[in-house]
Amino acid sequence: MLSDRRQRVLAALIEEYVARALPVGSRTLTERYQLGVSPATVRNELSVLEDGGYIVQPHTSAGRVPTDAGYRAFVDGLLAEQADGSQDERCRLVAEELRRSAGELDELIDQTSSALMRLTDCLSVVLAPSVQRMRIKQLSLVSLSPRQAIIVVVTEEGRVANRHIEFAEDVDPESLAEVQRLLGDVFGGRSSEEIEHGLSRSMAEAFRDPLVRAVMDEVMLCLQESRISRAHHSGLSALMVQPEFSHTDALLPVMQVLEDETVLLHILDDAVSCAAGVPSVRIGRENGNAGLSGVSVVASRYGKGPSAGVVAVIGPTRMDYSRTISAVRMAADALDEA
């Protein structure tokens, strides 16, 4: 447990390093930050912080930079200070704009992802809630021709999934409308997961009709396709301009994670298990993935129950944690109210 004075010195060092990406010396801290102590005391506190593993000196003649442990101590203090969910003014204004422009959930997710990137200058990731566990509000079959139609599924949370379907034989609009009515009764208020795990007798009766069964299969495929593409990303270019990612070999592991949604979901597991409104912060090696030892992930869940989504920011460990935590909270709140 760091004393208040060491917390202040560490916070000043991190603020300076985040701003300039250069090792920080004691003179810089003394001249730029009102720490209320003498230069000799600052030097002594830096030595103690270094001995404790909170900062490190990259070169003998250079200043110090924070370690993962130093960032962790700093972030834990921030989370305690922001326990009331307070947001900075810029984040609050962005949240209001998102609420005013809210349309369908997928559109809001894209807008939120872009807003997070602008606020943090980092990569933003928003995982849409799992359609598999969402309860279906409406199922529509739109006839395009005797052998073609579009399936449109709307969940109670406002997510929309659609799929084109082709029939082996002509299907008149009246038959299609009857299938829509039957499947609407079957799916209404249920999730696809519930339907997959057990059909009632009335459902089984309805599915004996080949046309109903064919459309049912297409509806399930529609939901599966939507479930696969849950992640919305913005800001890869913002990462590329950070000094830490100026070389391709540093950025490549992050790109590989984004391409594998299973790995991404595993990394964001902490956020899903956290209470609503409480961000999860993983710093460097805490990510449990060697390729991500140079990044931090700030994430929070939104929504309720097992179909909750996740909003996250991925950036260098040298990120502005205060603003990022506030921005992630803002985004989760905005999506919660959608």
Q: How confident is the model at residue 185 (pLDDT cuts 50, 70, 90)?
A: confident
Domain 4-66 has CATH 3.40.50.300: no
Q: How confident is the model at residue 281 (pLDDT cuts 50, 70, 90)?
A: very high
pLDDT of 305 higher than 70: no
Q: How confident is the model at residue 249 (pLDDT cuts 50, 70, 90)?
A: confident
Task: Count the Cβ atoms, other than its own, within 10 Å of residue 82.
Answer: 16
pLDDT tens string 97-134: 776 766 667 778 888 888 899 999 999 988 877 665 66
Cα dihedral value 257, 259, 263, 268, nearest 10 = 70
Please tell me the predicted confidence (pLDDT) of residue 109.
83
Q: What radius of gyration, in Å, describes the C-alpha atoms of the chain?
A: 25
Q: How confident is the model at residue 84 (pLDDT cuts 50, 70, 90)?
A: low
Please tell me the predicted confidence (pLDDT) of residue 301.
86
Q: Long-range pairs for 78-86 at CB < 8 Å and ≥24 separation? A: 78/321, 78/322, 78/325, 79/279, 79/281, 79/325, 82/322, 82/325, 82/326, 82/329, 85/277, 85/329, 85/333, 86/326
Between CA 285 and CA 287 the distance in angstroms is 5
Q: Which residue has the higher pLDDT, 198 or 194?
A: 194
Domain 80-129+230-336 has CATH 3.40.50.720: no
For residue 150, give both structure tokens.
């579009």
131-159 b/e (C-beta count within 10 Å ≥ 16 → b): bbbbbbbebebebeeeeebebebbbebbb
Q: What is the largest CA-CA distance in the chain?
A: 87
pLDDT of 271 higher than 70: no
Please tell me the predicted confidence (pLDDT) of residue 29.
95
Which one, of 333, 314, 337, lies nearest residue 324 by Cα? Answer: 314
What percent of the chain is modeled with pLDDT above 90? 31
Between CA 295 and CA 288 the distance in angstroms is 11
DSSP string, 215-244: HHHHHHHHHHHHHH--EEEE-HHHHHTSGG
Q: Which residue has the higher pLDDT, 290 or 304?
A: 290
Q: Which amino acid is at 250?
A: A
pLDDT of 178 higher than 80: yes
What value does the mean pLDDT take over residues 156-178? 85
Q: Which residue has the higher pLDDT, 21 or 205?
A: 21
For residue 235, give both structure tokens.
């800001």
Structural domain boundaries of the chain?
A: 4-66, 80-129+230-336, 132-228
pLDDT tens string 124-160: 988 877 665 667 888 889 989 999 999 888 877 667 7
Between CA 290 and CA 215 the distance in angstroms is 45
Q: Which residue has the higher pLDDT, 72 or 92?
A: 72
Between CA 220 and CA 187 the distance in angstroms is 11
H helix runs in 4-67, sequence order: 4-20, 26-32, 39-51
pLDDT tens string 223-246: 776 655 567 788 888 888 888 887
Helix (H) or strand (E) holding 127: strand 123-127
Architecture of domain 132-228: 2-Layer Sandwich (3.30)
